Structure formats: structure tokens, C-alpha cells
Copies of this chain bind each other. A is one copy, B any other.
Amino acid sequence: MSLTVVGSVAFDSLETPFGKRERILGGAATHFSLAASFFTRVNAVGVVGGDFGEDEWEVFRRHLIDTEDIEIVADGKTFFWSGRYDYDMNMAHTLDTQLNVFETFAPKLSDSSRNAEHVFLANIQPTLQREVREQCANAKFVAMDTMNYWITSAKDDLIKTIRSVDCIIINDAEARQLTDEPNIHKAARKIMDFGLKALVIKRGEYGATLFTADQFFVVPAYPLESVFDPTGAGDTFAGGFMGYLASSDEISDPVLRRAMIYGSVMASFNVEKFGTERVDGLDYPEINRRFSDFKRMTHFDDIPFERAASVG
């Protein structure tokens, strides 16, 4: 039972209608690891600069995340992203991106990271993702994320990477762009045809959908009256999803469905406060209560209609 994630560790400066934060802990691997740490042991693979401080390391330590493979470039600076959200919280406006040490990121996996049975390749250059995937020879289930930038600039390479994994977790606009197919169900079929076992399409405020070889499963988003800061929601979803899978004995359809719910649960917490703050402070009863909320939101009794006496 082990899970490796490869991706960014970052400082984020954020502005939302609810407030501002300067240089708080962020990055895909960070949000993913934190969410997954509630379900399994996590090896995080990334790179930071000499500016990465004790407070940041402490967040990883608190959650027993193995940071052996987070390389420290002492004379470099950590990846920095600055963004603003207006009232439409689905759309981030990037104000500044400084790749810094992330620009030349070359993931180095220790034996422990390489031998993980579950691997998540967060959004990085597709060739790098594939190199990591090939190092993890024992992996039973490898999932990946990507972004519109790679679909535009490195599509062939990206598809080669998709063919090497078991699952991709992307949003609906990306699924449409990747396949040139406006209908999401047709797009899903085309993506599954790359040889995937599972495909997760995230639909923002409308929830997420899981496609497997012969099934289809839909999860609504948790009803939140205020989304405080959506940064990292997708990676937090992936962390809950992969963390739960890694904690399970097998990857079956019922397990994948519960993983979708745990992913949605973790993402719904993530957006309630800035950065990692809310997930960092979570406990198990909160997680399980919200899991049950999802059951309550979607449950109905499967009672077929018996043709009523008065209907002809």
C-alpha cells in the first residue's frame, strides 16, 4: 500500500472576492499529497528552492508525507504562481508565473517512490510524465493529469503518455479539446480507446464523471454557498481519489465509485479556505460525515413503476 505523486510544489499568491494571501504553500503535488495522506502513505516527488521554509516542511511532516524525493536546490527559488479569481470562481486569471527551479525539474525517484503500487503524474511535461511512469515498473495503477497547454503544444507526445497509464483525470474542456469532440460521451469513448481502465472528467460546479470499460458513474459537486479559493481543487480531488484506491485491496468498479466520492469530499473541503489550510486541519469524522452527505444527496430507491390501475 503506497502512493507516489510527481508534480509541482509551489508558493501561491492569491486574490479572491473573499481576501488575499501572499506566498502560501501550494502546488499540485502538495494539494495531492495532503488529500491522499488521509488514506495512505504518500511519497512526494518534486523540487523546491532554498526559500522553502520550516513552516512548509512542517505541513508535509504533520501528514507523514515522505519528502525524501523533494529535491532542494539551495541557491534556487521555489516555483511561484500568482492569480486572481473574480466572482466566477471557475476561472483563474494568472497574474504572474515564475517557474524558477521547476523549469529544469528532473524527477529523481528513490527505490521507495519507484516501487509504489499506485502513482499519480500531476500536470507536468508529458515526456517527463512518461519517464516517471517507465521507472515505476511495479505500479498496478497509474493515473495522470494534464492541461490545455500540452494538448495544444505537445499532443502526440501527450497521447503517447496517456497510452502508458491506466487512468486520466481531466476537466471537460480538456476532454473536448483532446478529441475535437463537443459531445462529452463521445469524447470519453475516444479517450478510453487510448487503452485506459478509467477516465475521470471533472465538471467544476457540476461534479465529476467516471467512465470505465462498461460503466458510467456521476457524482454531483457538494453544494457550497461560497467557494472561498478553488486553487488546488483538482489536485485535491485526485489525492482523495488515488489515496482511497491505494488504501483498497483491489481496483474494482465499486471501489472506483467510492474513490470518486472521496475525491469529491476532499475537493469540497479544499475550496472552503485558502490554500492547504482546510485540508491540513481535517479529521476523519468530518471526512466520513461529508461522504455520507454525498450518499444522502444522490440516493433513491430503485422501485420500478407498476402500471397504475387507473392508467388504461
Contact = CB atoms under 8 A, between A and B. Distances in A.
A58 interface: no
A217 B300 CA distance: 9
A138 interface: no
Contacts of A258: 300-301, 303
A39 B262 CA distance: 37
Given A218-B298, A298-B218, A308 B1 contact: yes
Query: How many copies of this chain?
Result: 2
Contact of A310 (B1, B87, B88, B225): B1
Nearest to A87: B182
Interface of A: 1, 37-41, 63-64, 87-88, 182-186, 203, 205-207, 209, 215-218, 220, 223-226, 244, 247, 254, 257-258, 260-262, 284, 287-288, 291-292, 295-305, 307-308, 310-312
A215 B293 CA distance: 10
26 contacts: A1-B308, A1-B310, A39-B305, A39-B308, A40-B310, A41-B310, A63-B312, A64-B312, A185-B223, A185-B224, A203-B206, A207-B220, A216-B223, A216-B297, A217-B298, A217-B300, A218-B297, A218-B298, A247-B308, A257-B299, A257-B300, A258-B301, A260-B300, A262-B305, A291-B302, A291-B305
A-side binding surface: helix, strand, loop or mixed? loop
A225 B301 contact: no
A238 to B, nearest CB: 17
